[in-house]
């Protein structure tokens, strides 16, 4: 039997809401309900100061959903909106009902967490994140990739992974998928390839936190997080609640992309996340026939900007047919053609990034977030 969104809504509509005098349906507290392949995601909006007190309500809702025919797993999350003017606009809270300043759950055995981000989409951030992760793996490190780009998950295709994640040995967490020796988790594994993910901000942020904390990552030296593009709520929440060791900013040399890259750098600096470095992607075009180089999007802009802002420059990656072809085929160039000039560019970037990460003070504790 296939469970539907209507089945879930019907099952929980008459349960007591945050205000016990009203049902969930009457209270207007339901922030979103999503069903994908038997997995149910529900967010309930609550007052910031009542999160812990409403944990029993959250548990009842989750218990009812789990008993529905066709439900493989249920994730009910309490989300709270801080008052206007607060330093923290929206604070998603894990299923346990606690906002945790330190890494926990699946993140507790991860050495360093590094974000790969961009100020805008279309600059090759995900391809860069994938190949940097493989470059780190080539250094003998234990590497995982978290695809936090919820609206446009690319890692299943980039790593050539199909299928659905299974439960881990503990029967509680999900086991990450794996290929080329890298552990991978993405919302793309839980939805159909062409399914549109139409979620509000709190649902997105809750999903990202659960992909991090409710996955059995095992022992990792580094977890590469492919961030959503831009500088919105999801990026800010990740930067403020995940103990990031640093962030890598990806940009093309084009002026329009650099404007947004500056915003990305500024966001991480404002929340005290170290900038590991800037990558200039699509830095130049190499003709696959004659080898002639063309600066399609200009050249050197990201290097110049990194110098101007006083942050490290990690290197240049070219615009090349083989990178596009291998990415589309799920056979990343660093994994399948590691001796090629294109792969060498990513490997050098990964080596510099790891050197910068290990030269720093290590993973910074996420700042304590006070929900009034």
| Domain harbouring 86, CATH code | 3.30.300.130
First to last CA, the chain: 43
In the predicted model, residues of the chain with pLDDT beneath 70 are 48, 80-108, 192-204, 233-234, 255-257, 297-298, 360-372
- Rounded to whole angstroms, the Cα distance separating 351 from 332 reads 17
Please indicate, yes or no, whether residues 46 and 114 belong to a single structural domain of this protein.
Answer: no
Please indicate, yes or no, whether residues 345 and 307 belong to a single structural domain of this protein.
Answer: yes
Please indicate, yes or no, whether residues 53 and 172 belong to a single structural domain of this protein.
Answer: no
Would residue 368 count as lying in a domain? Answer: no
Q: Which two tokens stand for residue 326?
A: 């291998």
Please indicate, yes or no, whether residues 233 and 289 belong to a single structural domain of this protein.
Answer: yes
pLDDT of residue 92: 38
pLDDT of residue 367: 41
Q: DSSP for 131-195, please give it.
A: HHHHHHHTTT--EEEEE--TTS--HHHHTT--S-PPB-TTSSSBPPEEETTEEEEEGGGTS-TT-
User: Among the three residues 71, 93, 115, which one is the final residue of a domain in this structure?
Assistant: 93
Please indicate, yes or no, whether residues 251 and 217 belong to a single structural domain of this protein.
Answer: yes
Please indicate, yes or no, whether residues 119 and 70 belong to a single structural domain of this protein.
Answer: no
Are the C-beta atoms of residues 136 and 224 closer than 8 Å to each other?
yes
pLDDT of residue 28: 84
Please indicate, yes or no, whether residues 50 and 172 belong to a single structural domain of this protein.
Answer: no
| Residue from 125, 344, 123, 90 nearest 227 by CA | 125
Please indicate, yes or no, whether residues 89 and 111 belong to a single structural domain of this protein.
Answer: no
User: Among the three residues 40, 72, 93, which one is the final residue of a domain in this structure?
Assistant: 93
Would residue 187 count as lying in a domain? Answer: yes
Please indicate, yes or no, whether residues 60 and 175 belong to a single structural domain of this protein.
Answer: no
pLDDT of residue 119: 80
Please indicate, yes or no, whether residues 131 and 191 belong to a single structural domain of this protein.
Answer: yes
Please indicate, yes or no, whether residues 338 and 247 belong to a single structural domain of this protein.
Answer: yes
Would residue 174 count as lying in a domain? Answer: yes
- Rounded to whole angstroms, the Cα distance separating 302 from 314 reads 10
Which stretches of 263-335 are assigned E, i.e. beta strand? 275-280, 285-286, 293-294, 313-316
- Rounded to whole angstroms, the Cα distance separating 241 from 274 reads 15
Would residue 364 count as lying in a domain? Answer: no
Cβ neighbour number for residue 332 with a 10 Å cutoff: 26
pLDDT of residue 122: 84
Total of domains in the chain: 2
Please indicate, yes or no, whether residues 62 and 132 belong to a single structural domain of this protein.
Answer: no
Look at phi and psi of residue 150 and say left if phi exceeds 0, alpha if psi is from -120 to 50, else beta: alpha
| Residue from 198, 240, 283 nearest 100 by CA | 240
Q: The domain that contains 184 carries what CATH number?
A: 3.40.50.300
Domain containing residue 303:
105-359
Model-wide pTM > 0.75: no
Would residue 33 count as lying in a domain? Answer: yes
pLDDT of residue 108: 60
Q: Which two tokens stand for residue 27?
A: 């209270």
Would residue 366 count as lying in a domain? Answer: no
pLDDT of residue 202: 63
């Amino acid at each position: 039997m296939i469970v539907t969104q209507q089945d879930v809504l019907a099952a929980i509509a008459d349960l007591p809401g945050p205000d016990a005098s009203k049902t969930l349906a009457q209270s207007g507290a339901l922030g979103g309900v999503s069903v994908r392949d038997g997995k149910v995601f529900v967010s309930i909006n609550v007052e910031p100061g009542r999160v812990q007190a409403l944990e029993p309500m959250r548990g009842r809702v989750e218990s009812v959903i789990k008993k529905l025919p066709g439900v493989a797993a249920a994730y009910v999350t309490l989300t709270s909106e801080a008052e206007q003017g607060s330093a923290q606009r929206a604070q998603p809270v894990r299923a346990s009902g606690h906002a945790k300043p330190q890494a926990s759950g699946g993140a507790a055995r991860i050495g360093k967490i590094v974000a790969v981000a961009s100020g805008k989409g279309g600059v090759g951030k995900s391809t860069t994140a994938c190949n940097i992760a493989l470059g780190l793996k080539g250094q003998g490190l234990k590497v995982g990739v978290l695809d936090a780009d919820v609206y446009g998950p690319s890692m299943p295709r980039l790593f050539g992974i199909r299928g659905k994640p299974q439960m881990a040995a503990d029967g509680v967490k999900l086991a990450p998928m794996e290929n080329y020796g890298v552990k991978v988790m993405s919302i793309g594994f839980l939805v159909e390839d062409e399914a549109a993910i139409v979620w509000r901000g709190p649902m997105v942020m809750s999903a990202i936190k659960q992909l991090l904390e409710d996955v059995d990552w095992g022992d990792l030296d580094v977890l590469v997080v492919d961030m959503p593009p831009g500088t919105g709520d999801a990026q800010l929440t990740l930067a403020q609640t995940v103990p990031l060791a640093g962030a890598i900013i990806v940009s093309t040399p084009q002026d329009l992309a650099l404007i947004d890259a500056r915003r990305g750098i500024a966001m991480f600096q404002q929340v005290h996340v170290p900038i590991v470095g800037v990558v200039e992607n699509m830095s130049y075009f190499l003709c696959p026939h004659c080898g002639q180089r063309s600066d399609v999007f200009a050249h050197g802009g990201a290097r110049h900007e990194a110098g101007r802002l006083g942050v490290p420059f990690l290197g240049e990656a070219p615009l090349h047919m083989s990178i596009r072809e291998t990415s589309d085929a799920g056979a990343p160039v660093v994994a399948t053609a590691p001796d090629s000039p294109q792969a060498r560019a990513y490997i050098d970037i990964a080596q510099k990034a790891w050197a910068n990460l290990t030269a720093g003070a290590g993973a910074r504790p996420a700042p304590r977030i006070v929900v009034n």
